[in-house]
Amino acid sequence: MGETTKIAISAGIQVGGSLFTPEQFAKIGSVVGTDAKIEMTPFKQLYAEVPHERRDVIKEELERYDLEVYPAGFVTKSLIACNFCKGAEEAGLDSARSLNTAIAGIETPTPLKIGYAGCALGTSEPLLKDISVVKMRDTFDIYVGGEPKGLKTSFAKLLISGLTEDKLVPAVTALIHFYKAHAKGKEKFSKFVDRVSLERLRQIAG
């Protein structure tokens, strides 16, 4: 067997959450092969190992079925969003899709999980993510530093409130790139937040 690489597959951000069609599942099975192992991750992506030389071809085939394909490993994961139970417009579906396009697949010191909730119900558990966005009526709040693993879990802290839609993507991408540039080795984002301070991150997010 030749060299393999792992890809991350997601169903895209939509009302109802992470919904796959039978056709999409069939396509995934046919392109990765009958011997492939497909893993369901905690961040709503499917991981699959594929031949390295066929990675780009497989990516194109899956994308034709409205699937999204990203790198696996030490990158920003695709946006972990809610089910938009308040409706696409009220919960900010377009804003979530724009944010996902901007952040998914950026190389980072450790895997980075970005959450999105369309209202204060927070069904996507935003306060347990590295960076989270919560839509509050017509503006957005950003939280940072959630830690869901281990025996010392912690909730993300409020960084910015009342952010307008046009400033959302620049603020989140600024935080990601600042972390990428200034983390110490494989420093977890929650540890990075504690070390750098909320005040400094507020300056970066602007």
The pLDDT tens digits for 115-151 are: 999 999 998 899 999 999 999 999 999 999 999 887 7
Based on the domain organization, do 194 and 114 belong to the same domain? Answer: yes
Based on the domain organization, do 84 and 48 belong to the same domain? Answer: no
pLDDT at residue 1 in the model: 52
Q: What CATH number is associated with residue 46?
A: 3.30.70
Contact 109, 74 (CB under 8 A): yes
Name residues whose C-beta falls within 8 Å of residue 61's C-beta, 6 or more positions apart in sequence.
27, 31
Based on the domain organization, do 42 and 86 belong to the same domain? Answer: no
Based on the domain organization, do 158 and 106 belong to the same domain? Answer: yes
pLDDT at residue 5 in the model: 92
Based on the domain organization, do 118 and 47 belong to the same domain? Answer: no
- Domain's final residue, options 47, 72, 97: 72
Furthest-apart CA pair in the chain: how many Å?
53
Based on the domain organization, do 86 and 43 belong to the same domain? Answer: no
Tokens of 34: 């009958």
Q: What amino acid occupies position 3?
A: E
The total number of structural domains that make up the chain: 2
Sheet with 68-71, side-by-side order of all strands: 38-40, 46-51, 4-10, 68-71
Residues of the chain with pLDDT under 70: 1
DSSP-assigned letter for residue 79: P
pLDDT at residue 155 in the model: 95
CA dist 57 and 54 (Å) reads: 5
pLDDT at residue 145 in the model: 97
pLDDT at residue 136 in the model: 96
Q: What CATH number is associated with residue 173?
A: 3.30.413.10
Buried b (16+ CB within 10 A) or exposed e, 82-98: bbbebeeeebbbebbbb
CA dist 139 and 116 (Å) reads: 13
Tokens of 47: 């991981």
- Domain's final residue, options 72, 91, 114: 72
| Backbone torsions φ then ψ of 6, nearest 5 degrees | -100, 135
DSSP-assigned letter for residue 114: E
Mean pLDDT of the chain: 94
Based on the domain organization, do 179 and 161 belong to the same domain? Answer: yes
Q: Which of 81, 196, 181, 183 is nearest to 132 (CA)?
A: 81
Based on the domain organization, do 56 and 91 belong to the same domain? Answer: no
Based on the domain organization, do 116 and 188 belong to the same domain? Answer: yes
- Domain's final residue, options 72, 99, 125: 72
Based on the domain organization, do 54 and 102 belong to the same domain? Answer: no
Q: Which domain holds residue 44?
A: 4-72
pLDDT at residue 101 in the model: 97
Based on the domain organization, do 40 and 129 belong to the same domain? Answer: no
Based on the domain organization, do 198 and 140 belong to the same domain? Answer: yes
